Amino acid sequence: MMRWTRRTWLAALAVPPLAKAAEEGFAPLFDGKTLNGWILVAGKGRGYIVEDGVIVCPEDGGGNLYTEKEYADFVLRLEWRLWEGGNNGIGIRAPLEGDAAYAGMEIQILDDEAPVYQKMRLKPAQYTGSVYDVFPARRGYVRRNGEWNEMEIRAEGRRIQVRLNGQQITDANLDEVKDPEVLRKHPGLQRRSGHIGFLGHGTRVEFRNIRIRTL
């Protein structure tokens, strides 16, 4: 029988067995200190920087920050936070050239409730978690004003799923896209692999705990 001491109790509390098992097979994409393993494309201002263990897209920065490696089928987990009017995105299966939202796919990250976007009357597929401009996400799960959000993106074959703060908000079958105009506008829907990236738009958005499991 195991003898429970103060040390063993603290160890059990620090690393819950279920949480540890849930992360099995995941590899970090960010070392917490540098942008090694990432490529900045079409950078603006300071681009992306590392502060206090997080990747930051500053207000005077932006552009696309891509992984050096390409990924096909995967589960991506990360945390992000934004402030009033925050706007970014996560590119998946994207090439290094062109607009990732069209040449690849973009999973939207947006301060959905900000007045600036309410006035713009966004389309349903322009809100957080959507496959941008193609598949709308369920709304109402974004934590605002600097609170961390937990997101999981699962890309497996022709199916793209997004979970935000424990809720599944997107479940898209890419084969359901039949409209020739949409397919022409979004050739990236046909891509089988590509880079993962952060797609900045000149607002401060932060990312941390970025890890991936290939399928």
Half-sphere exposure of 25 (CA within 13 A, CB side): 8
- Cα 193 from Cα 118, distance rounded (Å): 34
Structure-block tokens of residue 181: 């105009």
Give every CB contact of residue 68 below 8 A, 6+ residues apart in sequence.
37, 38, 39, 195
The pLDDT of 148-152, averaged and rounded, is: 98
pLDDT at 153 over 90: yes
**CA 155 to the chain's CA centroid:** 12
Q: What is the pLDDT of residues 90-142, one digit of tens each?
A: 999 999 999 999 999 999 999 999 999 989 989 999 999 999 999 999 999 99
Q: Which CATH number fits domain 24-214: 3.30.70.1530, 3.50.50.60, 2.60.120.560, 3.40.50.970?
A: 2.60.120.560
Q: For the chain, what are the domain ranges?
A: 24-214
Q: What is the mean pLDDT of the chain?
A: 92
pLDDT for the residue numbered 209: 98
